[in-house]
Structure 1
């Protein structure tokens, strides 16, 4: 019966590869296998009876209320030309250097990630604003595409990240299961604030690695950023002044500080901070004179679409996890991990490798809601720190946005890039940044305190 759980997992991956909607694939496959199990008397209907309570818990979850609010904040900031002002100002600041535009894109991407937390919005915005300029400056299509896609995915790891909100909720449940399996009770649990604090230093390290890579390209392979047909950009008529720099930097930095600082220092829950961020985005849009009825309608439609997608997938994943548990899938996974050579280290390496490979075919939301609830309780019961595990998973899932053929960042950029930029160039351009993210995984595995130090300093 346990191997039916494994067959069900393989089946749902196959159905997803056929292109069916994720939520319906998860729920449909689970119901099909549950029906087979009930007909042969090897599946208990009590697991399906628990579904209403599970769904009520999902819809009544206060933490998940932060998702639509953060989505609204990010979509509103995208419409208020914050990114355009930032990019223009950074280009003025670093434009005298050949590699300066690439560094500007990275820094703007970092600030957008810390302001919005939405990967798609950042990639599309940066693709529209910076890709034509980078190509005109003589940057190769592959290098330009790689920079934009990679910096766009910073929204996955730099808080406030929607991915960390979802992952924090899943890990909190997994941590409780791990404690029950060990027969212990610890009132302290992992929270979204813990993950936000743990992601700050790894996010900054990743930005630094991106910049180091760009500097290395400028030093050892300058042809990538300065081609023979290089066209010089005329100096802008608007000189860089302190007032211009502050007007571009202060609004997003202030919003980021209020939202993130209120969470980290315990002044607000993630949901409350998300409400403040949404209101702050509205005020910035008014300040920029971008709060029009068409913009507001577009932002609200985007918010409803993304939120509906997330919660529908969560409902499908809840049904899938119940049926998986009913077939004894959790016992199967626990037994496999216990038998692996290397103990907890070997089990962690295998889980990270499996998640990396699944990132080629599945979105981070699917992996978060389907795979993490299966493997996280077992790994946490083996003694891993929940915050460290959460950040390792988040960085790993970040690569799912870049890995061909189904990396969503690649799709986003392909949708806005000029036809002269070949799809193969986009795939080639992201390869070094996938390697950089894997290097970051190795760094965090070797020095776990890079993740746990800040949460321990803030929360004790």
Structure 2
């Protein structure tokens, strides 16, 4: 029995989580308990725990993970400043006259918010409070409307930038390095966040297209489930549409463009996104009541000019051959930085006076603490699990699967899908993937393609009852007439569409590998 302590440890973790204990405390508690059991039975070397300090310090100083709080800040600012709400209302009026148009607008807005915020909870709650009542008033099926809102909200997990892709990039990069060490390679390649973002872009848009096609087909075959607007509303003018679309599109171009274009690292791009979201919020009429937003616009222009300068004419005054032109460029850069700094100070002042900054900082701290607590305590769990021989057991199980590499991958994907019924994406990413990913990569699976295939599977964990987070978010924001059973039933077709998306990506790997190969 003692030789199976590692598997009992994993089973105990699942059981404790199902009982409702906080995940972070559960991870550490189970790890300490089984470390003591393993030591008592002579199965665990307690000196391994001496590596904990180094592992935790390495996590907290990881450059990749620094981007997480910045992206969270960016998303919370957009949600709190009502930019997301305005986008929802405008797109609903734009597509409402089409049969199923409200549903299409929810999907498209979910994609835009995903590419500019990446926060599932904020997107689902916002659409649950605004779009869901509108769809119900216009005769949409409660099941279909609930499923649409939940599914569109989860696009923030697969369309970059997203915290899932950042965590997955770090985990898969480490797994790729381990796989190369096992193969006896000494020149080690890694996977960057930029590569992961680029790989996720086309599959994410593919999922959006699948959802839109399904919505249109559903509206055509079941007109009563997704009718056109019963009460005609004025179509928004072009100026209104641009006013709603430009802010998120600017952020998308600034963040993803700087990463994919090689101008900035993910952490630097996240900083750009956080500052950009703050400037956009401060420039809105509600925030600029105390003064003209001209300074904000000038600051945004200065930041754009600095980005172009860094891309096409970088200033390097430390070189010995710097001439007059270089010093003039340096002076221009300093002036632009001063204008940008002044605009940021004005934006912070307006955000504070408008009551925006405090809830944004509180929400950012709460979400970031939750993510990092899970990552850090999972490090404790994985160390004890490996010390008990768990990694060897997992590797043996995967290699014993019939069907070779394809059969092994199918088994792991099914395991991740099942665990998604009970665990959060962060827990699966930092507990299970470090154990299974190196084995799959050694078997010959492309690590970048594998990352995105797993990302879509993990995205499904937000939709699968009974513990899908999107279901809980919508339950809290939905009108009283929407029952929990209707929400659960509504997501079932979209879970099937997620599986269809995974199948398409499985059969056609270039969907994930072509863009990063071209860019990097």
Residues of 2 paired with 1:60 and 1:296: CA distance? 26
Query: 1:2: Cα distance to partner?
Result: 4.6
Change (3 A) 1:179 1:422: same
Matches within 5 A, 1:107-122: 107-122=108-123
Query: 1:91: Cα distance to partner?
Result: 2.1
Query: 1:201: Cα distance to partner?
Result: 0.6
Aligned to 2:37: 36
Aligned to 1:257: 253
Matches within 5 A, 1:120-131: 120-131=121-132
Aligned to 2:320: none
Report if the CA contact (8 A) 1:116-1:155 is conserved.
Answer: yes
Residues of 2 paired with 1:95 and 1:41: CA distance? 67
Aligned to 1:75: 76
Aligned to 2:348: none
Query: 1:432: Cα distance to partner?
Result: 0.6
Residues of 2 paired with 1:268 and 1:69: CA distance? 14
Residues of 2 paired with 1:446 and 1:260: CA distance? 27
Query: 1:334: Cα distance to partner?
Result: 1.3
Query: 1:116: Cα distance to partner?
Result: 0.3
**Aligned pair partner of 2:274 in 259, 266, 278:** 278
Residues of 2 paired with 1:385 and 1:235: CA distance? 50
Partner SS state of residue 64, structure 1 = coil
**Aligned pair partner of 1:266 in 259, 262, 266:** 262
Matches within 5 A, 1:114-263: 114-226=115-227, 232-236=230-234, 240-263=236-259
Residues of 2 paired with 1:381 and 1:186: CA distance? 16
Report if the CA contact (8 A) 1:337-1:343 is conserved.
Answer: no
> Once structures 1 and 2 are overlaid, which stretch shifts more, 34-43 or 399-408?
34-43
Query: 1:382: Cα distance to partner?
Result: 1.4
Matches within 5 A, 1:284-295: 284-288=280-284, 289-290=286-287, 291=351, 292-295=353-356
Query: 1:329: Cα distance to partner?
Result: 0.9
Deviations 1:227-255 (A, max 9, x none): xxx9832424xx52222121111111011
Residues of 1 paired with 2:244 and 2:491: CA distance? 29
Aligned to 1:334: 395
Residues of 1 paired with 2:191 and 2:114: CA distance? 23
Does residue 396 (structure 1) correspond to residue 452 (structure 2)? The answer is: no
Aligned to 1:363: 424
Does residue 93 (structure 1) correspond to residue 94 (structure 2)? The answer is: yes
Deviations 1:304-341 (A, max 9, x none): 01111111111110011101110111111111222221
Query: 1:103: Cα distance to partner?
Result: 0.6
Give the superposed CA RMSD: 1.3
Report if the CA contact (8 A) 2:115-2:156 is conserved.
Answer: yes
Partner SS state of residue 372, structure 1 = helix
Does residue 315 (structure 1) correspond to residue 376 (structure 2)? The answer is: yes
Partner SS state of residue 401, structure 1 = coil
Deviations 1:47-96 (A, max 9, x none): 21110000010011111010100000000000121122212221232122
Change (3 A) 1:2 1:269: farther
Report if the CA contact (8 A) 2:177-2:189 is conserved.
Answer: no
Aligned to 1:15: 16
User: Gaps (5+ residues) in structure 1?
Assistant: none
Change (3 A) 1:167 1:231: closer
Query: 1:176: Cα distance to partner?
Result: 1.2
Aligned to 1:416: 477
Report if the CA contact (8 A) 1:73-1:116 is conserved.
Answer: yes
Query: 1:294: Cα distance to partner?
Result: 2.5
Query: 1:46: Cα distance to partner?
Result: 2.3
Residues of 2 paired with 1:458 and 1:412: CA distance? 36
Does residue 381 (structure 1) correspond to residue 442 (structure 2)? The answer is: yes
Does residue 433 (structure 1) correspond to residue 494 (structure 2)? The answer is: yes
TM-score (structure 1 length as normaliser): 0.97
Change (3 A) 1:432 1:186: farther
TM-score (structure 2 length as normaliser): 0.86
Aligned to 2:328: none
Report if the CA contact (8 A) 1:11-1:29 is conserved.
Answer: yes
Change (3 A) 1:275 1:231: closer
Aligned to 1:354: 415
Report if the CA contact (8 A) 1:2-1:332 is conserved.
Answer: no
Higher RCO by CA contacts (8 Å cutoff, separation 6 or greater) = 1
Residues of 1 paired with 2:197 and 2:187: CA distance? 21
Larger Rg: 2
Residues of 2 paired with 1:84 and 1:301: CA distance? 20
Residues of 2 paired with 1:96 and 1:223: CA distance? 15
